A and B are shown apart, each in its own frame.
Chain A
Amino acid sequence: MELLCPAGNLPALKTAVDNGADAVYIGFKDDTNARHFAGLNFTDKKLQQGVDYIKANNKSLHVAINTFAHPGQQQRWFKAIDKCAEIGADAVIVADIAALDYASKRYPELDLHLSVQASATNAPAITFYQENFNVSRVVLPRVLSIHQVKQLARATDIELEVFAFGSLCIMAEGRCYLSSYVTGESPNTVGACSPAKFVRWQQTPSGLESRLSDVLIDKYQQYEKTGYPTLCKGRFHVEESLYHALEEPTSLNTLSLLPELFNANIAAVKIEGRQRSPAYVEQITRVWRQAIDQYQLSPEHYQVKPAWGQALDKVSEGSTTTLGAYHKAWQ
């Protein structure tokens, strides 16, 4: 099982490799990837250094080109694919059919992984991408229960990659417009959800307010821990009740599911967080490396160690973790 870690910059990439990642995924410094944040991602110069470091350590590099090409600008997405081929990326993570079609025809040898943004949640959808673009791996959306993941693993012969840890998208990825509804910008169109430039924090007599555009996402009392104002994680009213109507600010953590993921023959576990710091990448990579190694050494004695949980909690959103949709009760 491959441990696939995020890197938003060169230090994070090196940290991931040094702490036991089998593969690292990155994005270019433009809107062809779904973490198009200011100060993040790889320029050509840093890219070459990253590639060199990966190759020197005999690891794999995956490049995310997982937004949807704008009309009249498809060439930018195609050029990003060209660049992946030029630098010798081990895999490209793609969402748009236009980019998949281009890559599969132009670079038949290039490994294509279907991005989570393509939202393939069932066997015929996977077959669609397999037959038409020869994708070798599918990254599963975080909407499936562990039972459904196992069913898919049995129904298909393709490599499956699942999200193991990190911020939790609770909507089928690539099919969520909550962000553009409020800001005009969505992951699909600009490569960012709830972009930082629309975020506003304001101290008021009744508490600390977080806003996205002008919309009040949450209001915190002094004793409460604040969270980034993503639309799906605010507190809202449904009739008289005030609660996290969609989801609490929690992180996904599937350490306890590792044996089941192994049994389902999952090819890779993915850590979310290209926007996070090298310190985050270090903590998470180290813990997951230990967990995978421990399982492989002695599957029957695998147990989640309390120290792992403590290390992960320190860097988790909201300081709590959940199994998300993998666990039916969450749904």
Chain B
Amino acid sequence: MKVSLGPVLYFWPKQTLTDFYQQAVSSDADIIYLGETVCSKRRELKSKDWLTLAKQLADNSNKQIILSTMALLEAPSEVRVLKDLCQNDQFMVEANDLGAVQILAEHGVPFVCGPAINCYNANVIQFLLSKGMTRWVMPVELSGDWLRTLLQDCQQLGIRDQFEVEVFAWGHMPLAYSARCFTARSENKAKDDCELCCINYPQGRVMRSQENQALFVLNGIQTQSGLRYNLLNEVPQLATLADIVRVSPENMASVSVPTQFKQQLNNYQAYVLDNKECNGYWHQIAGLAQHAYS
């Protein structure tokens, strides 16, 4: 089982991103996804900068480098940027919207189906394979049982060996995308006049209930889980179902998380989740819950 570093979901300054990827290159991750997936106004790195960075990473490591693309595409200008990325001719692209799938299929190149695309069953997998999908990242709300049944269906259809399975296994999960920017709203600003304030919140802004429960993390137009998803305990199960587990970076220290997953593969040790972590989705219960191991 391989480990990937997912795209950085927050708005980090250029230097921070550069530093992060310098460390990521020497991490235990096998795959690195990079690119802006949340908001087109975040342009510390522009498309060509991401491509340059991707080339540097590819030249300095044997890791697979993938370009991730936006989940919510509305403006024609956003579609133009998407097209440029999809036609880069060097790196595989992670599609996070079916608009990207359309462009990639027209271009005749293989792609990763990202977690923001609604692929819930084997028939959809089969259809996306016909469009060039070679890797499927499961939507974060689905469980281990769901995955097992889906893969059994794929087996019956004779397509199980035609794609890799990746599971989001660590980090704050993207749960929703909106037209509204909640970070701007939290500063009493309109989205059009946001002053790129997301850059002040390198891990998003925590939204708490009136009982002080950390419910969600506001990350621009994206709403994330208030708790960090952590499937370190599920590694033995994951290893039988998935080809790749994804670590979603939170800060510089996240580059060491792939090591933890690899250690679990070789020398499994039960991990005690703290009160800022959850694993409910995998166990088909509320996402924010922690599974009670018996």
Interface residues of A (CB under 8 A from B): 68-72, 74, 95-98, 101-102, 118-125, 127-129, 131-132, 142-145, 148, 151, 155, 170-172, 174-178, 180-184, 186, 188-189, 213, 215-219, 231-232, 234-239, 241-242, 245-247, 324-325, 328-331
For residue B142, which residue of chain A has the nearest CB? A189
On chain A, the residues within 8 Å of B82 by CB distance are 124
Q: Name the contact of A170 in the complex, choosing from B121, B179, B207 (C-beta under 8 A).
A: B179
On chain A, the residues within 8 Å of B75 by CB distance are 148, 151
| Alpha-carbon separation in the docked complex, A186 to B205 (Å) | 24
* 26 contacts across the A-B interface (CB closer than 8 A): A71-B120, A71-B149, A72-B153, A95-B118, A98-B123, A101-B123, A119-B97, A120-B98, A122-B97, A178-B175, A180-B286, A181-B141, A188-B120, A189-B120, A213-B286, A215-B215, A216-B209, A216-B213, A217-B209, A237-B208, A241-B186, A245-B186, A246-B207, A324-B179, A330-B180, A331-B179
Are A125 and B76 neighbours in the complex by a CB distance under 8 Å? no
On chain A, the residues within 8 Å of B116 by CB distance are 175
Are B210 and A235 neighbours in the complex by a CB distance under 8 Å? yes
| Alpha-carbon separation in the docked complex, A198 to B182 (Å) | 26
Is B203 an interface residue, CB under 8 A from the partner?
no
Segment touching A, from B2-10, B18-26, B100-108? B100-108
Q: Name the contact of B97 in the complex, choosing from A125, A127, A329 (C-beta under 8 A).
A: A125
Shortest Cβ distance from residue A90 to the other chain B in the assembled complex, whole angstroms: 25
Are B118 and A119 neighbours in the complex by a CB distance under 8 Å? yes
Is B134 an interface residue, CB under 8 A from the partner?
no
| Alpha-carbon separation in the docked complex, A329 to B181 (Å) | 11
On chain B, the residues within 8 Å of A237 by CB distance are 207-210, 212
In B181-217, the 8 Å CB interface with A consists of 181-182, 185-186, 190-192, 205-213, 215-216
On chain B, the residues within 8 Å of A102 by CB distance are 123
Is B79 an interface residue, CB under 8 A from the partner?
yes
Interface of A is mostly: mixed
Q: Name the contact of A331 in the complex, choosing from B73, B149, B180 (C-beta under 8 A).
A: B180
Is B258 an interface residue, CB under 8 A from the partner?
no
Q: Name the contact of A175 in the complex, choosing from B176, B192, B213 (C-beta under 8 A).
A: B176
| Alpha-carbon separation in the docked complex, A178 to B98 (Å) | 22
| Alpha-carbon separation in the docked complex, A124 to B119 (Å) | 18
- Contact-residue bracket for chain B: 35 or more
Are B287 and A172 neighbours in the complex by a CB distance under 8 Å? no
Given known pairs A70-B146, A124-B79, A151-B76, the reply for A182 and B287 (CB within 8 Å) is yes
Shortest Cβ distance from residue A207 to the other chain B in the assembled complex, whole angstroms: 10
Q: Which 6 A-B pairs have the closest CB atoms?
A: A98-B123, A325-B179, A125-B99, A181-B287, A124-B99, A68-B120
Q: Beyond the given A68-B121, A175-B116, please list 15 additional residue pairs across the A-B interface where CB-CB is below 8 A.
A: A69-B121, A71-B153, A121-B72, A124-B100, A125-B102, A128-B98, A143-B179, A151-B76, A170-B179, A172-B179, A175-B177, A180-B287, A182-B286, A216-B213, A246-B180
Are A178 and B216 neighbours in the complex by a CB distance under 8 Å? yes
Is B171 an interface residue, CB under 8 A from the partner?
no
For residue A99, which residue of chain B has the nearest CB? B123
For residue A129, which residue of chain B has the nearest CB? B98
Q: Name the contact of B180 in the complex, choosing from A74, A124, A170, A215 (C-beta under 8 A).
A: A170
On chain B, the residues within 8 Å of A95 by CB distance are 118
Is B249 an interface residue, CB under 8 A from the partner?
no
Are A331 and B191 neighbours in the complex by a CB distance under 8 Å? yes
Given known pairs A122-B97, A182-B287, the reply for A101 and B149 (CB within 8 Å) is no
On chain A, the residues within 8 Å of B186 by CB distance are 238, 241, 245
Most buried by B among A144, A172, A174, A242: A172
On chain A, the residues within 8 Å of B98 by CB distance are 118, 120, 124-125, 128-129
Are B76 and A155 neighbours in the complex by a CB distance under 8 Å? yes
On chain B, the residues within 8 Å of A118 by CB distance are 98, 118
On chain B, the residues within 8 Å of A216 by CB distance are 209-211, 213
| Alpha-carbon separation in the docked complex, A145 to B100 (Å) | 21
On chain A, the residues within 8 Å of B176 by CB distance are 171-172, 175-178, 232
